[in-house]
């Protein structure tokens, strides 16, 4: 398990720059495509994730970070549950601008900061919960990503990683494979104007560790009580682990 390797990149730094540039180009169309290409299931995946971390959100003093927040959909779902501003970060400025617009529109005053998930400007043991939805897969080094989460979590703190995964059923996997490699790149490419983004998406999902392997890697990194829940036939998985 190393990290994402977009085509044509030969180092972690190049992979990271490619990912940041790509999200910057699709930022204005990101939400529309997200809902369209997931048949609106993304809303259910996020809602389920919020439900799984609600015990921490309900604690008024809990320090919570939505990592790789993108345009802020998970963040807003978390804040609607917590009824207060949390923290949010991403390393892509145009995505953060979209997030900021939505946060203000919802009447929150969330501290949003631009930072690489592999090197967060946060103190050791400062957070009770980190959520990361569809961002972890894009990190240039997964091991470093897990280590950085552990560094900033308080002992007893939780990480919740929502990511694409591989469906377990053979027939569904074949259908899903067809959709994600043939249909999704065409629609996504045409609407976003960035075909490379929607070719990268199925490729990065294919290369990403399966749910069992990710759970193993979390344990190896030092997380305890690691568990995961598959959703939509395993197309998506939510991993939970504690420091």
Ligand X SMILES: C[S@@+](CC[C@H](N)C(=O)[O-])C[C@H]1O[C@@H](n2cnc3c(N)ncnc32)[C@H](O)[C@@H]1O
The residues that touch ligand X, with contacts defined as CB under 6 A, are 16, 19-20, 23, 34, 68-70, 73-74, 90-92, 95, 116-118, 133-135, 138-139
Q: How far is the CB of 34 from ligand X (least distance, A)?
A: 6
- Give the nearer residue to ligand X in terms of CB position, either 167 or 188: 188
Q: How far is the CB of 31 from ligand X (least distance, A)?
A: 8
Six-digit token string for 194: 């960035």
- Give the nearer residue to ligand X in terms of CB position, either 43 or 83: 43
- Give the nearer residue to ligand X in terms of CB position, either 74 or 211: 74
Q: How far is the CB of 3 from ligand X (least distance, A)?
A: 9
Q: What angle do CA 69, 167, 136 make, to 5 degrees?
A: 25
- Give the nearer residue to ligand X in terms of CB position, either 50 or 95: 95
- Give the nearer residue to ligand X in terms of CB position, either 96 or 211: 96
CB 17 within 8 A of CB 11: no
What is the per-residue DSSP string for 173-197? HHHHHHIIIIIHHHHHHHHHS-HHH
- Give the nearer residue to ligand X in terms of CB position, either 117 or 221: 117
Q: How far is the CB of 170 from ligand X (least distance, A)?
A: 27
| Largest pairwise CA distance in the chain | 47
Q: How far is the CB of 237 from ligand X (least distance, A)?
A: 14
Six-digit token string for 96: 């953060």
Six-digit token string for 70: 């993108």
Give me the residue whose beta carbon is nearest to ligand X: 70
What is the per-residue DSSP string for 98-165? HHHHHHHHTT----EEE--TTS-SS-TT-EEEEEEES-GGG-S-HHHHHHHHHHHEEEEEEEEEEEE-
Element (H, E) at 145: helix 142-152
CB 238 within 8 A of CB 161: yes
Q: How far is the CB of 137 from ligand X (least distance, A)?
A: 8
- Give the nearer residue to ligand X in terms of CB position, either 12 or 181: 12
Q: How far is the CB of 46 from ligand X (least distance, A)?
A: 7
Residue 16's SS3 state is helix
CB 107 within 8 A of CB 79: no
CB 47 within 8 A of CB 77: yes
């Amino acid at each position: 398990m190393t990290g994402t390797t977009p085509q044509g990149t030969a180092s972690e730094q190049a992979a990271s720059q490619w990912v940041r540039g790509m999200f910057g180009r699709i930022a204005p169309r990101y939400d529309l495509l997200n809902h369209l290409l997931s048949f609106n299931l993304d809303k259910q995946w996020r809602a389920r994730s919020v439900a799984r971390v609600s015990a921490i959100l309900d604690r008024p003093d809990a320090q919570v970070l939505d990592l790789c927040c993108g345009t802020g959909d998970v963040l807003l779902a978390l804040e609607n549950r917590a009824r207060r501003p949390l923290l949010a970060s991403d390393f892509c400025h145009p995505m953060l601008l979209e997030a900021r617009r939505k946060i203000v529109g919802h009447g929150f005053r969330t501290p949003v900061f631009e930072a690489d998930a592999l090197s967060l400007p946060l103190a050791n043991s400062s957070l009770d919960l980190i959520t990361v939805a569809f961002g972890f897969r894009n990190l240039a080094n997964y091991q470093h990503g897990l280590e950085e989460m552990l560094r900033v979590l308080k002992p007893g703190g939780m990480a919740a990683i929502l990511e694409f995964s591989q469906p377990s059923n053979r027939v569904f996997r074949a259908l899903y494979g067809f959709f994600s490699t043939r249909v999704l790149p065409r629609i996504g490419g045409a609407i976003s104007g960035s075909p490379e983004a929607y070719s990268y998406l199925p490729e990065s999902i294919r290369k990403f560790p399966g749910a069992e392997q990710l759970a193993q890697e979390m344990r190896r990194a030092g997380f305890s009580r690691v568990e995961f829940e598959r959703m939509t036939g395993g197309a998506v998985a939510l991993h939970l682990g504690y420091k």
